[in-house]
């Protein structure tokens, strides 16, 4: 039988649902103000987004008792035509927020890896590739 214990430990290390909500709130403060992706959120209900994203992240960190009440991710993002570089920008803001909130390394790594694994549901683009002008 598989055990959910290691993942549940991550949820607890993140401060449970209240700790995760604090991070998600700080994250969306950055996202909504961001020059590159903030415009996408102009008509979005911020409080509802914080609520469902907190549920989503709690489950990603192992909280089996939390239910995600939002829409499937592919459906929620389909109308926005999100580019690979915009996906990367969101990940950068998430990384910066996790650090600023003092979240422990194992939680940061798991949260960011989970996000990266979902890329194909959010954007049709791959990760952006930076090539130096003098590359062969
Ligand atoms: C794996 C990465 C991502 C996760 C886990 C995620 C998570 C979520 C969740 C849970 C929602 C709420 C769904 C609902 O409305 O029921 C949402 C909505 C939204 N997300 Fe994301 N998201 C991701 C990537 C992105 C990216 C890269 C962007 C843009 C740069 C983005 C822009 C939006 C917008 C604009 C909405 C509101 C959709 C609407 O109401 O029309 N998301 N996201």
φ, ψ for residue 66, nearest 5 deg: -90, 135
Compute the distance between CA of residue 72 and CA of residue 104 in angstroms, rounded to an integer: 28
CB atoms within 10 A of CB 2: 4
The C-alpha atoms of residue 64 and residue 130 are separated, in whole angstroms, by 39
Give the residue whose CA is nearest to atom 27 of ligand 1.
87
Backbone angles phi, psi at 43, to 5 degrees: -105, 15
By most ligand atoms within 8 Å of CB, the mutation choice from 49, 66, 72 for ligand 1 is 49
Average pLDDT over residues 74-97: 97
CATH number for domain 5-73+80-122, candidates 1.10.490.10, 1.10.3720.10, 1.20.1250.20, 3.40.190.10: 1.10.490.10
Instruction: Output the six-digit token pair for 24.
Output: 């998600």
Q: How far is the CA of 73 from the centre of ligand 1 (A)?
A: 7
Å from CA of 112 to ligand 1 middle: 15
pTM for the model:
0.91
Mean pLDDT of 43-51: 98
Domain ranges in the chain? 5-73+80-122
């Amino acid at each position: 039988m598989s055990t959910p214990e290691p993942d549940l430990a991550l949820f607890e290390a993140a401060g449970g649902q209240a700790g995760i909500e604090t991070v998600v709130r700080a994250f969306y403060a950055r996202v909504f103000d961001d020059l590159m992706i903030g415009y996408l959120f102009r008509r979005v209900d911020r409080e509802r987004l914080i609520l469902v994203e907190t549920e989503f992240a709690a489950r990603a960190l192992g909280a089996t008792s939390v239910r995600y009440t939002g829409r499937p991710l592919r459906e929620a993002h389909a109308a926005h035509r999100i580019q690979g570089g915009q996906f990367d920008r969101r990940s950068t803001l998430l990384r910066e927020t996790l650090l600023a909130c003092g979240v422990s390394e194992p939680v940061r790594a798991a949260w960011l890896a989970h996000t990266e694994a979902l890329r194909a549901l959010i954007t049709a683009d791959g990760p952006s590739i930076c090539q130096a002008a003098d590359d062969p």
